[in-house]
Structure formats: C-alpha cells, structure tokens
C-alpha cells in the first residue's frame, strides 16, 4: 500500500504520475489535480483543460487574461 501525496490516504491500488522528473503517488484524479494542476493567475481556479497562456502566466479562459497581456491579431 502507498500513501497519497495529497491526502495521505493509504490505498491498495494507487496511481503514480511523473511530471518534470518528479513522481507522485495518488489515490484519485482529484488529489492529483489538487497537487499538480496549475491555477489561473486571475481567479485561482485549477486549470484542468487547455487553458490560455499569456507570457509566463496560465489562465483558465480568455476572459481572465488581462487586457494588457493580450496579443493583438
């Protein structure tokens, strides 16, 4: 059994996820998202989909991207 890196639950069928050379153990996708998913630079929600990048920041949607960070097309 292995303990979840997020909640500490000892689970008999954990999963491991490796990101940027670091491996973590989880008991659910929810715990993986809490630890690994980026947060929107504007509203703070976890970005579970593609999101939007502006510079070095990640946003959950185009609405959250500040006007001065938008690229003119």
- The domain segmentation of the chain, as residue ranges, is 1-36, 38-73
CA pseudo-torsion sign 56, 57, 60, 66: negative
pLDDT of residue 72: 53
Give the pLDDT confidence score for residue 1 in this predicted structure.
78
Q: What pTM, to 2 d.p., does this model score?
A: 0.75
Q: What is the mean pLDDT of each run of 10 residues along the chain (73 residues)?
A: 93 92 95 95 95 93 89 55
Question: What pLDDT shows up at residue 73?
Answer: 46
Q: Name the β-bridge partners of 3.
A: 10
The alpha carbon of 1 is separated from its chain's Cα centroid by a whole number of angstroms, namely 25
The pLDDT, as a whole number, for residue 44 is: 96
């Amino acid at each position: 059994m292995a303990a979840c890196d997020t909640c500490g639950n000892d689970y008999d069928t954990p999963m491991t996820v490796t990101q940027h050379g670091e491996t973590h153990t989880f008991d659910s996708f929810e715990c993986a998202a809490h630890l690994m998913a980026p947060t929107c630079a504007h509203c703070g929600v976890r970005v579970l989909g593609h999101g939007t990048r502006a510079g070095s920041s990640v946003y959950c949607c185009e609405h959250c991207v500040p006007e001065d960070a938008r690229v003119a097309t």
